[in-house]
Structure 1
């Protein structure tokens, strides 16, 4: 026997999920991390533009981890000491001893441009040079995490 579905109840269920997600976004935006951020749009606007399938991103998790790390240092009056990393071997060795790793625009511009021309950090390298290096290092971290 086929289950019977009531269109009005399905709509009410979807509206309930929508309102719950709006409340979740509003709570997130009122957290300490975002309480001073001003937006020209509402949580309702954001939720209305989202698809039905939730997506998760590694960058979101890493941003949350960085925020917690920085807040911890702030609370303890300490600093996050770091170094610039250029290759996966450096990242692997640094990860054991540092809580943050820095990717320098200058290092990328002088050693890892698509043109292979070293130079000063005048930001005259392709716009995706630093993001590509970050991706390369992150994928290496994921590999070593297996």
Structure 2
């Protein structure tokens, strides 16, 4: 993504879970999209903290890196924020699929209910987005 330097992109990815989660919120609100991975059979799901989770990234570059590093055969899938609010969050919640937010190279991330993530993103939208 040309909006940010390689150093900034790498810097966000190397943050600890909580500040990386905060960066995710700001970036998603600013760009009004979230990224998952999909293939011909559907979206990538992972088991984390005894839950089925959908990994989500704030920028396409992170989803591309995840494909290159760990999930060959998948492709980045853009989900608009409105679509996430209206369809994905309720559907994930109904299917008991949590959100694995902005996993780093080691797979460490914030895991939370998709509806809780949607509410948190809406609250973030009322604040100033990330620069």
TM-score band w.r.t. shorter chain: under 0.3
Task: Flag the structure with larger Rg.
Answer: 1
- Structure 1 or 2: larger strand share? 2
Higher helix share: 1
Q: Could you tell me the TM-score, scaled by structure 2's length?
A: 0.24
